[in-house]
Amino acid sequence: MLSKHCFLGFLVTFFLTGETETQPNCDSLKPQKVHFQSRNFHNILHWQSGIGCTSNSSFYTVQYKIYGEKSWTNKESCSNIQQVFCDLTDETSLVQESYYGRVRMNSMGIPSDWVITKRFTPCWETKIDSPFMNLTRSNQSLLVSLGAPNLPDRAPKEKTMSMEDYYELVYRVFITNKFLKKEQMIYEGTHRVVEIEAVAPHMSYCVVAEMYQPMFDRRSQRSKKICVEIS
């Protein structure tokens, strides 16, 4: 009696698993790990293909919305694509807003369910790269030229603001020399050229910069350190 049951159980399992192999169910089609990756406010939606669904006939479609909107918007350039990422920078350009993205896969005419990201707030989640920095000598002062990492262009009506103001980023400049025990922050602000005055002759100075998000007290990686000797 018992062995009969076992055999029946085996048969049922065998046929069930056999079936899932020949005809993939919607769950296995679903894209996996749908999430935003954000760097310097470039917001890219990434995902992975569903289990065992890496065939050439897999196409993905992406939609997005601002949190609170009733309907989703198609991202036209990410409709029926085979790549596993989609650039939503323009669609998510209000940096303190909250957004959602979602993806579904279409394989041989069968669409999977949508897979949705967690709520995404660009200013909170983006990682800011180090600034560009250059150093020039002019008589008894040093000129530090600063440039923000590659930030997305803003919509035309927001162009009146500087890049730094729009993204609420400031530069920080630090200096060291052999007499300073610790490096000193000599500048924090949005100017792209900073003059370091009253540098002593025959002394070498090293300067380094970082981007800073005052809102969260967050700093980027440092720029390359540049050292100069004052003649």
Partner 1 sequence: MATLQRPANSFLKGVMTASCLLLIALWVQGGAAWPIGPHCRLDKSDLPSAQVTNHTFRLAEEASLADNNTDVRLFGRHQLFRGVNATDYCYVMKQVLNFTVEEVLLLHSHRYQPYMDTVLSYLIRINHKLNHCYIERDDQNIQRNVQELKDTVRELGESGEIKVIGELNLLRGLLVTKCF
Q: Which residues bind partner 1 (CB under 8 A)?
A: 65, 67-71, 96, 98, 100, 116, 118-119, 121, 124, 214-217
Q: Residues with Cβ < 8 Å from 129, sequence gap 6 or more?
A: 39, 40, 149, 150, 211, 220, 221
Residue 86: helix, strand or coil by DSSP? strand
Q: What is the DSSP annotation of 44-78?
A: EEEEEPPTT--STTEEEEEEEEETT-SS-EEEEEE
* Nearest to partner 1 of 193, 215 (CB atom): 215
* Nearest to partner 1 of 27, 69 (CB atom): 69
CB of 175 to partner 1, least distance (A): 24
CB of 220 to partner 1, least distance (A): 15
At residue 43, what are phi and psi to the nearest 5 degrees? -110, 110
* Nearest to partner 1 of 61, 117 (CB atom): 117
* Nearest to partner 1 of 144, 169 (CB atom): 169
CB of 216 to partner 1, least distance (A): 5
How far apart CA 60 and CA 107 sit, in angstroms, is 9
* Nearest to partner 1 of 18, 33 (CB atom): 33
Beta bridge partners of 59: 106
How far apart CA 173 and CA 146 sit, in angstroms, is 9
CB of 35 to partner 1, least distance (A): 13
CB of 94 to partner 1, least distance (A): 10
